[in-house]
Structure 1
């Protein structure tokens, strides 16, 4: 086959463009021709029903999936934590890039006295909300949505004490302010800090090119975390955190997984260290333990509450 130009689909937010340009540079360094295609947002596209009758939810990824299926772009680059655990038929995981910072951070305004008293914290994430309320039950948590730039601006214009962000997103576009603290007690979202490249399953040229960007350690760890999420979730969003880390010296995987109630009052967690040979089912077995330990009932309550 003649060498083709790999078209990289992206949304037009600053972070999405940064991610697309990062992948572009890596592919160019390997000698591939590329171009970046900014894809219009979902509102500009009529969604064909059959593609999404699979119950696929990814609001951030849908537009790019359709652009790929329609043949307008060859690959899409995503923050992996935003990608549903089930990809649409015909689309496959082509590479997971080496992971960046996995931490959540609190961007705050002024001093931190409010941590000991009453505070108002903003986040649009059920996981961050539940963990914050678990640690600071007398705080008020308000909803915050939009891309990172929008959320930073909303924080500055508000009377909130702070807002929770993924460190990686702010670091990538140099938005991380000096007024922040690492929330090392907060278990991150599954695959936080990792970037995922997806391609069409039948596009051998592109899959061969992109596979060279894959970081095997990140791929294994995010696989475990997303398997944990998928086993717990069953298609429902819930306050779930997961982090797998590879220990090179001992050739082991350290896994932390947690499920919270929406109000943060209930917490079911699991911590495991296993030999690397057991990685394939680690997420599944960890989730099953949580489900057997009260998690099934908790997930049913969460689903019922969110449906209201």
Structure 2
């Protein structure tokens, strides 16, 4: 067992899902003998709800205030949904731990329709994810895709008020909050490829806190970490921004990682570009190399993004 540290404060957003995630980590650390408390915070991403994230600075808006708390010593660790974590962390910060993944798939949620195929022509589907928008349009070009912001409870309330025929959410969040019964069906990954890191939790620390990194090591799940490292490498190489409709999802089986990715044009002028490959993966370097290879295949297929750094 790692040595018990001085009290650990977890910086967390105050949404119900973020608090569940922080409390989950808190319980695991307490079980190992650590004294752990929470520091609830409201981030800029939580405050700006009238515009899509791609237009106001990306998902990094959900983590910036938490990083300031780490920098100032008001908290020692921050728990994030990994799909919200920018592909490049600021200097002085490190991803100390990636935990075992929950269901990475997207969920179809509707009060009246069981599946996407059942929606009438022109039905309104809510999501603010550009990735989900382009994948939904590829499946059902006739649908009206409308913005949907807010925490999980807010999104469900808007659906229940009749603003949408259906909405698409991450299955992981619904399951973690005991809301699995709201899921009418789950999109298989060959239908709707998930976002890089979807369903996984990451723990961020200051990179000079070797003691914390060691203390968090028992919480890490190596297969998940290798898989999401490959997914995030695709996104990083393609620009790593939520203004880019990009999906990346891997499955690790007996030491071989099969990685798939899809890139879409938000204006719908070109068809989806898809790429996939498999390789033996035993460490983060091999995982990231596979991600870079997939990004190159996407570009070869017509996807656009910044050139890879040599």
TM interval, short-chain normalised: 0.7 to 0.9
1:86-105 correspondence runs (5 A): 86-105=88-107
Normalising to structure 1: TM-score of the pair?
0.87
- Identify which of 144, 158, 176 aligns with 2:148: 144
Cα deviation 1:151-202 (Å, max 9, x = unaligned): 1111111242100000000110112334511111100010000000001111
- Identify which of 279, 282, 297 aligns with 1:289: 297
SS in 1 for 2:219: coil
User: Counterpart of 1:10?
Assistant: 12
1:29-48 correspondence runs (5 A): 29-42=31-44
1:241-280 correspondence runs (5 A): 241-248=247-254, 251-264=255-268, 266-276=271-281, 278-280=286-288
- Identify which of 153, 158, 179 aligns with 1:154: 158
TM-fit CA distance, 1:215:
0.6
User: Counterpart of 1:203?
Assistant: 209
User: 1:247, 1:2 → 2: CA distance?
Assistant: 35
TM-fit CA distance, 1:114:
4.4
Give yes or no for contact 2:59–2:84 (8 Å, CA) kept in 1.
no
1:154-233 correspondence runs (5 A): 154-178=158-182, 180-184=184-188, 185-233=191-239
Give yes or no for contact 2:245–2:265 (8 Å, CA) kept in 1.
yes
Give yes or no for contact 2:45–2:61 (8 Å, CA) kept in 1.
no
Output the aligned Cα RMSD: 2.3
TM-fit CA distance, 1:263:
4.0
User: 1:118, 1:57 → 2: CA distance?
Assistant: 29
User: 1:24, 1:8 → 2: CA distance?
Assistant: 8
Instruction: Flag structure 2 segments of 5+ consecutive residues without an equivalent.
Output: 47-56
Give yes or no for contact 1:56–1:86 (8 Å, CA) kept in 2.
no
- Identify which of 239, 244, 252 aligns with 1:238: 244
SS in 1 for 2:303: helix
User: Counterpart of 1:25?
Assistant: 27
**Distance change in 2, residues 1:26/1:228 (3 Å):** same
Instruction: Flag structure 1 segments of 5+ consecutive residues without an equivalent.
Output: 45-54, 301-308
**Distance change in 2, residues 1:287/1:38 (3 Å):** same
User: 2:58, 2:208 → 1: CA distance?
Assistant: 21
User: 2:149, 2:42 → 1: CA distance?
Assistant: 19
Normalising to structure 2: TM-score of the pair?
0.86
Give yes or no for contact 1:96–1:214 (8 Å, CA) kept in 2.
yes
User: Counterpart of 2:81?
Assistant: 79
User: 1:220, 1:100 → 2: CA distance?
Assistant: 15
**Distance change in 2, residues 1:11/1:261 (3 Å):** same
User: 1:95, 1:215 → 2: CA distance?
Assistant: 8
User: 1:12, 1:214 → 2: CA distance?
Assistant: 24
User: Counterpart of 2:68?
Assistant: 66
Give yes or no for contact 1:77–1:195 (8 Å, CA) kept in 2.
yes
**Distance change in 2, residues 1:196/1:236 (3 Å):** closer
User: Counterpart of 1:123?
Assistant: 127
Give yes or no for contact 1:107–1:179 (8 Å, CA) kept in 2.
yes
**Distance change in 2, residues 1:42/1:236 (3 Å):** closer
Cα deviation 1:66-85 (Å, max 9, x = unaligned): 11111110000000000001
User: Counterpart of 1:47?
Assistant: none
